[in-house]
């Protein structure tokens, strides 16, 4: 099983030389040196906005591209991208499908020479969202995610099993916001340290399109370990912990 982030995104980051997109990969060393990563742009904003906007327009997200172009500061850009993600339009689904496909591709017969052929116009937007959330506060308590799963999928979550959720993963600070499905994930951490700054989700509730959901967001390609599975009537509760030390 691949525990790395999609190499397709690394290819995009390296091609465009935006260091802040991959800064989390050195976060452990940064924290040890007492210089935690800032995840901020070290270059002119205009080329970055253009790169993101062109990618969005290329696959039909003209309105989102237009709003990116209107941002005048990096903070405004980051908040707009977070809002666009939480709006749950088809952009939300396309982003997460692309990330899942990348992960499945790497988990199979992956050849690093194939990265360019599997590139995607959404990569700059995804990479900027991945740093935008890291500029928000961590939320260090248990969070919750409700969903509907088939019995076959539920049975894939077995105690002590390690797995990766390849996309961004939304959760809520409020357990009550997550009922309605047949599965409730309770998410916490087992990591005493964090190699890639994936130990905790980021609190984006103030910037989400739906503030009442009290949303937090995990970065792409976080690894988790199943700690427990409990069945009560029609609801299955699955406790999973982030693993960011291997």
Burial (Cβ within 10 Å: 0-12, 13-18, ≥19) of residue 246:
exposed
Query: What values do phi and psi take at 188, rounded to 5?
Result: -145, -160
pLDDT of residue 116: 57
pLDDT of residue 33: 82
pLDDT of residue 2: 47
Structure tokens that stand for 91 in this block: 């952009």
pLDDT of residue 121: 92
Integer Cα distance of 238 and 182 in angstroms:
11
Contact by Cβ (8 Å): 220, 166: yes
User: Which residue, among 161, 134, 124, has the nearest Cα to 8 in the 3D structure?
Assistant: 124
pLDDT of residue 88: 80
pLDDT of residue 101: 84
Integer Cα distance of 197 and 39 in angstroms:
11
Please report how the helices 74-86 and 123-132 are oriented relative to each other, as an axis angle in degrees rounded to 10: 110
Integer Cα distance of 210 and 89 in angstroms:
13
Kindly give, in sequence order, each residue whose CB lies less than 8 Å from that of residue 183, ignoring residues fewer than 6 positions away: 146, 147, 148, 149, 154, 235, 236, 237, 238
Contact by Cβ (8 Å): 143, 187: yes
Q: pLDDT tens track of the chain, all 246 residues?
A: 445 677 767 778 778 889 899 899 888 887 788 788 899 999 999 999 999 999 999 999 999 999 999 999 999 999 999 999 999 899 999 999 999 888 776 666 555 555 555 568 999 999 999 999 999 999 999 999 999 999 999 999 999 999 999 999 999 999 999 988 999 999 999 977 888 999 999 999 999 999 999 999 999 999 999 999 999 999 999 999 999 875
What DSSP line would sit under the chain, residue for residue?
Answer: ---SPPHHHHHHHHHHT-GGGSGGGGHHHHHHTT--------S-HHHHHHHHHHHHHHTT-HHHHHHHHT--SHHHHHHHHHHHHHT-SHHHHHHHHHHHHHHHHHHSS--GGGTGGG--TTHHHHHHHHHHGGGSPB--S-EEEEE---HHHHTT--TT-EEEE-S-EEEES-GGGGBTBSEEEEEEE--SS-SSS-SS-EE-TTTSS-GGG-EEEE-TTEEEEEEEEEEETTEEEEEEEEE---
pLDDT of residue 115: 54
Q: Give the number of other Cβ atoms within 10 Å of residue 203's Cβ.
A: 20
> What domains lie within the chain, and their CATH numbers?
7-135 (no CATH), 143-243 (3.90.176.10)
Contact by Cβ (8 Å): 126, 165: no
């Amino acid at each position: 099983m691949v525990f790395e982030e999609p190499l397709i995104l690394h290819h995009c980051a390296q091609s465009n030389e935006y260091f802040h997109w991959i800064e989390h990969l050195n976060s452990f060393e940064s924290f040890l040196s007492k210089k935690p990563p800032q995840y901020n742009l070290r270059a002119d904003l205009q080329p970055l906005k253009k790169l993101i906007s062109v990618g969005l327009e290329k696959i039909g997200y003209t309105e989102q591209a237009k709003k990116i172009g209107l941002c005048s500061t990096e903070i405004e850009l980051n908040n707009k991208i977070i809002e666009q993600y939480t709006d749950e339009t088809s952009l939300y689904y396309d982003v997460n499908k692309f990330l899942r496909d990348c992960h499945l591709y790497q988990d199979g017969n992956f050849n690093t020479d194939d990265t360019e052929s599997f590139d995607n116009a959404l990569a700059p937007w995804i990479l900027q969202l991945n740093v935008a959330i890291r500029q928000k506060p961590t939320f260090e308590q248990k969070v919750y995610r409700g969903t509907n799963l088939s019995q076959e999928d539920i049975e894939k979550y077995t105690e002590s099993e390690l797995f990766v959720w390849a996309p961004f993963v939304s959760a809520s600070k409020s357990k009550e916001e997550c009922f309605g499905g047949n599965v409730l994930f309770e998410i916490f951490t087992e990591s005493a340290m964090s190699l890639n700054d994936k130990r905790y989700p980021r609190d984006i509730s103030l910037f989400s399109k739906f503030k009442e959901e009290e949303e937090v967001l995990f970065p792409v390609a976080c690894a988790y370990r199943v700690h427990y599975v409990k069945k009560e009537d029609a609801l299955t509760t699955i406790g999973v912990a982030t693993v960011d030390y291997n």
